[in-house]
Chains A and B, each alone.
Chain A
Amino acid sequence: MTKIKNVAIADQVDHSSHPSTFLTKYIWSQDHKIIAIQYSITAIAVGLVALVLSGMMRLQLGFPNEFSFIDPSSYLQFVTMHGMIMVIYLLTALLLGGFGNYLIPLMIGARDMVFPYLNMLSYWTYLLAVVVLLASFFVSGGPTGAGWTLYPPQAILSGTPGADAGILLMLTSLAIFIVAFTMGGLNYVTTILQARTKGMTLMRMPLTIWGIFVATILGLLAFPALLVSAIMMIFDKVIGTSFFMPAILSLGETLDHSGGSPILFQHLFWFFGHPEVYIVALPAFGMVSDVIAIHARKNIFGYRMMVWAIIAIGGLSFVVWAHHMYVSGMNPYFGFFFATTTLIIAIPTALKVYNWLLTLWRGNIHLTVPMLFAIGFIFTFTHGGLTGLMLGNVVIDLPLSDTFFVVAHFHMVMGVSPIMVLFAAIYHWFPLLTGRFLNNKLGQFHFWGTFLGTYAIYLPMHYLGFLGVPRRYYAMGDTDFIPASAQTLNAGITVAAIIVGLVQLVFIVNVIWSTFKGKKSGRNPWQATSLEWQTAEFPPGHGNWGKQLPQVYRWAYDYSVPKVKDDFIPQNLSAAEVEYLPNESEKNKGDK
Chain B
Amino acid sequence: MQLFKSLQEKPWLPITLAQQTSLAYYASDKESAASTALRFFLAVITVIFLLFTITFLQRTQSFDFQALSGEPWLPFTNAYMLWQNSAYLLLASISIILAKKFAKQQSLYAIIISLTATASFTLLFINGQVQVWQQLNQSGFYIYTNPANSYYFLLTGVHALHIIGGVLVFMRCIWLFSFNLSYQQLASRLKLCAIYWHYLFFIWLFLFFLLTSDANTFKNIALICGF
Segment at the interface with A among B57-65, B189-197, B203-211 = B57-65
The answer for the CA separation of A255 and B59 in the assembled complex, in Å, is 19
With beta carbons under 8 angstroms apart, the residue of B24, B28, B158 that contacts A195 is B28
- Please determine whether A193 and B36 come into contact, CB atoms closer than 8 angstroms: yes
In the complex, whether B33 has a CB less than 8 A from a CB of chain A is yes
- Please determine whether A557 and B12 come into contact, CB atoms closer than 8 angstroms: yes
Cβ distance A553 to chain B, nearest Cβ, rounded Å: 6
- Please determine whether A220 and B44 come into contact, CB atoms closer than 8 angstroms: yes
Cβ distance B100 to chain A, nearest Cβ, rounded Å: 19
Cβ contacts under 8 Å, A479 to chain B: none
Contact bitstring A196-218, B, C-beta under 8 A = 1, else 0: 10110111100000000000000
Cβ contacts under 8 Å, B225 to chain A: none
Known: A199-B25, A240-B144, A304-B10. A220 touches B40 (CB 8 A): yes
Known: A1-B26, A576-B17. A228 touches B33 (CB 8 A): no
- Please determine whether B144 and A5 come into contact, CB atoms closer than 8 angstroms: no
In the complex, whether A264 has a CB less than 8 A from a CB of chain B is yes
In the complex, whether B140 has a CB less than 8 A from a CB of chain A is no
The answer for the CA separation of A261 and B65 in the assembled complex, in Å, is 13
The answer for the CA separation of A345 and B171 in the assembled complex, in Å, is 46
In the complex, whether B22 has a CB less than 8 A from a CB of chain A is yes
With beta carbons under 8 angstroms apart, the residue of B10, B12, B22, B154 that contacts A231 is B154
Cβ contacts under 8 Å, A552 to chain B: 23
The answer for the CA separation of A555 and B23 in the assembled complex, in Å, is 13
User: What number of A-B contacts does a CB cutoff of 8 Å give?
Assistant: 171
The answer for the CA separation of A231 and B63 in the assembled complex, in Å, is 23
B-side interface mostly: helix
Number of interface residues of A (CB under 8 A): 67
- Please determine whether B29 and A9 come into contact, CB atoms closer than 8 angstroms: yes
Cβ contacts under 8 Å, B143 to chain A: 235, 239, 241
Cβ contacts under 8 Å, A4 to chain B: 25, 27
Known: A220-B40, A551-B23. A203 touches B11 (CB 8 A): yes
Q: Which residues from 181 to 202 on chain A have a C-beta closer than 8 Å to any C-beta of chain B?
A: 182, 185-187, 189-190, 193-196, 198-199, 201-202
- Please determine whether A182 and B37 come into contact, CB atoms closer than 8 angstroms: no
Q: Which residues from 10 to 69 on chain B have a C-beta closer than 8 Å to any C-beta of chain A?
A: 10-12, 14-17, 20, 22-30, 32-33, 36-37, 40-41, 43-44, 47-48, 51-52, 55, 58-59, 62-65
- Please determine whether A6 and B29 come into contact, CB atoms closer than 8 angstroms: yes
- Please determine whether A224 and B25 come into contact, CB atoms closer than 8 angstroms: no
In the complex, whether A24 has a CB less than 8 A from a CB of chain B is no
- Please determine whether A264 and B55 come into contact, CB atoms closer than 8 angstroms: yes
- Please determine whether B33 and A308 come into contact, CB atoms closer than 8 angstroms: no
- Please determine whether B9 and A201 come into contact, CB atoms closer than 8 angstroms: yes
The answer for the CA separation of A247 and B44 in the assembled complex, in Å, is 33
Cβ contacts under 8 Å, A115 to chain B: 33, 37
With beta carbons under 8 angstroms apart, the residue of B14, B28, B41, B64 that contacts A182 is B41
Cβ contacts under 8 Å, A202 to chain B: 3, 6-7, 9
Known: A228-B55, A261-B58, A557-B12. A190 touches B37 (CB 8 A): yes
- Please determine whether B64 and A190 come into contact, CB atoms closer than 8 angstroms: no
Q: Which residues from 297 to 326 on chain A have a C-beta closer than 8 Å to any C-beta of chain B?
A: 299, 303-304, 307-308, 311
Known: A5-B28, A555-B12. A259 touches B6 (CB 8 A): no
The answer for the CA separation of A255 and B151 in the assembled complex, in Å, is 20
In the complex, whether A256 has a CB less than 8 A from a CB of chain B is yes
- Please determine whether B7 and A308 come into contact, CB atoms closer than 8 angstroms: yes
- Nearest A residue to B58 via CB reads A264
Known: A201-B6, A202-B6, A220-B40. A8 touches B28 (CB 8 A): yes
- Please determine whether B12 and A9 come into contact, CB atoms closer than 8 angstroms: no
In the complex, whether A23 has a CB less than 8 A from a CB of chain B is no
- Please determine whether B144 and A232 come into contact, CB atoms closer than 8 angstroms: no
- Please determine whether B40 and A231 come into contact, CB atoms closer than 8 angstroms: no
In the complex, whether A251 has a CB less than 8 A from a CB of chain B is no
In the complex, whether A242 has a CB less than 8 A from a CB of chain B is yes
Q: Which residues from 225 to 273 on chain A have a C-beta closer than 8 Å to any C-beta of chain B?
A: 225, 227-228, 231-232, 235, 239-243, 256, 258-261, 264, 268, 271
- Please determine whether A195 and B58 come into contact, CB atoms closer than 8 angstroms: no
Cβ distance B202 to chain A, nearest Cβ, rounded Å: 18
Known: A231-B154, A243-B147. A221 touches B59 (CB 8 A): no
In the complex, whether A2 has a CB less than 8 A from a CB of chain B is yes
The answer for the CA separation of A333 and B9 in the assembled complex, in Å, is 40
Known: A259-B62, A574-B20. A303 touches B12 (CB 8 A): yes
- Nearest A residue to B25 via CB reads A198
The answer for the CA separation of A29 and B24 in the assembled complex, in Å, is 32
The answer for the CA separation of A268 and B50 in the assembled complex, in Å, is 12
- Nearest A residue to B22 via CB reads A2
- Please determine whether B20 and A299 come into contact, CB atoms closer than 8 angstroms: no
Cβ distance B184 to chain A, nearest Cβ, rounded Å: 11
The answer for the CA separation of A2 and B18 in the assembled complex, in Å, is 15
The answer for the CA separation of A243 and B58 in the assembled complex, in Å, is 11
With beta carbons under 8 angstroms apart, the residue of A3, A231, A551, A555 that contacts B11 is A555
The answer for the CA separation of A553 and B22 in the assembled complex, in Å, is 10
In the complex, whether A575 has a CB less than 8 A from a CB of chain B is yes
In the complex, whether B150 has a CB less than 8 A from a CB of chain A is yes
Cβ distance B123 to chain A, nearest Cβ, rounded Å: 24
- Please determine whether A189 and B40 come into contact, CB atoms closer than 8 angstroms: yes
- Please determine whether A575 and B28 come into contact, CB atoms closer than 8 angstroms: no
- Please determine whether B51 and A271 come into contact, CB atoms closer than 8 angstroms: yes
Cβ distance A213 to chain B, nearest Cβ, rounded Å: 12
With beta carbons under 8 angstroms apart, the residue of A9, A232, A308 that contacts B28 is A9
The answer for the CA separation of A195 and B22 in the assembled complex, in Å, is 18
Known: A193-B36, A554-B11. A224 touches B16 (CB 8 A): no
- Nearest B residue to A114 via CB reads B33
- Please determine whether A575 and B154 come into contact, CB atoms closer than 8 angstroms: no
Known: A201-B9, A203-B6. A182 touches B32 (CB 8 A): no
Cβ contacts under 8 Å, A308 to chain B: 7
Cβ contacts under 8 Å, B25 to chain A: 1-4, 8, 198-199
In the complex, whether A587 has a CB less than 8 A from a CB of chain B is no
In the complex, whether A592 has a CB less than 8 A from a CB of chain B is yes
- Nearest B residue to A240 via CB reads B144
Cβ contacts under 8 Å, B20 to chain A: 199, 553, 574-575
The answer for the CA separation of A268 and B53 in the assembled complex, in Å, is 12
- Nearest A residue to B3 via CB reads A202
The answer for the CA separation of A201 and B23 in the assembled complex, in Å, is 9
A-B interface, 5 closest residue pairs, ranked by CB to CB distance from nearest:
A555-B11, A8-B27, A199-B23, A203-B9, A259-B64
Contacts beyond the supplied A1-B26, A195-B28, A243-B147: 11 A-B pairs with Cβ under 8 Å: A9-B30, A114-B30, A189-B37, A190-B33, A194-B32, A198-B25, A235-B150, A261-B62, A268-B51, A303-B12, A311-B7
Query: Can you list 12 pairs linking A and B with CB atoms under 8 Å apart?
Result: A8-B28, A114-B33, A182-B41, A187-B37, A189-B40, A194-B28, A199-B20, A199-B24, A220-B43, A228-B55, A243-B147, A554-B14
